[in-house]
Amino acid sequence: MSNVRLIGRLIIICYLSFSVSAAFAQVGDYRTDFAVGVNGGYVMSSVAFAPEVPQAQLGGLTAGVSFRYTCEKYFSSICAIVGEVNYAQAGWKEEILDRDDQPVPLHTDGSQSLRYERRINYVQIPVMARMGWGRERRGFQFFAQIGPQLGLYLSDKATTNFDVRQSAFNPASPDYQYRGLRSSNVVAQDSLPIQYKFDYGIAGGAGVEYSHPRLGHFLLEGRYYFGLGNLFGNSKSDVFGKSNFGQIVIKATWLFDIIRTKNDKIK
């Protein structure tokens, strides 16, 4: 519940900040710019399990629509609110190693190693406060942005080359031997269904934008998402104390202006 209160406070702070900014817009240069567009990129995802599960980053795709409302330029800072609705592939990829930090073989000849990954598909909705420095209509601008992000579960699929249920729970199964070879005895995540279908956390990033008066705005951004929610239960009777996302996102966006402030002084 503390995480819910935290993200609620962060949302309130973000919107209060921009409400105050809009109320005192006469201090800076007023803007009513509204732009929409599309975005796409690559997600590198992992899950912070407690107890720990050895992992590598799981790569996936993200794509969606973007919205930006620019409200003012305060001194040299361009203030805006950015929203997105994206499809994103998240999840985790396990590094199944033995006690010598070597891959655990699937067959005795060592031709294959054990592998497991769980890909989880979401609709992600970040809403971020943005500050930019540079040109607005023609040229380059550097920007940074941060805000809350919500995620709605769509589906998930595990990809593996061994029977995770037999390996975890049936000592009579030939696959059960793999548990003894693994350096980590934490295997419950391989067969547990996703319990919490609503994800939430904080997203933040920085990037560069190039604007052209006729072609629109082209953005390249690096972003990090820190999940505050869990995938699995975290009560005293559950296996994991936490199971929250960490995601690195590289994203490109194209925006075109729907509403543009009439001011010849804006460069």
* pLDDT over threshold 70, residue 27: no
| Amino acid (one-letter) located at 6 | L
* Record: fold of 2-259: Porin (2.40.160)
Kindly report the pTM of this predicted structure: 0.83
What's the CA gap between 132 and 231, in Å, rounded?
34
Summarize pLDDT for 119-170 with one digit per residue, the tens: 999 999 999 999 999 887 789 999 999 999 999 999 999 998 877 665 444 4
Phi, psi of 266, deg, nearest 5 = -75, 125
101 backbone φψ class: left, alpha, beta (φ>0; ψ -120 to 50): left
Summarize pLDDT for 45-104 with one digit per residue, the tens: 999 999 999 999 999 999 999 999 988 777 788 899 999 999 999 999 998 887 777 787
Q: Give the chain's radius of gyration (CA, Å).
A: 23
pLDDT at residue 25, as a whole number? 42
The residues that bridge with 248 in the sheet, in sequence order, are 44, 224
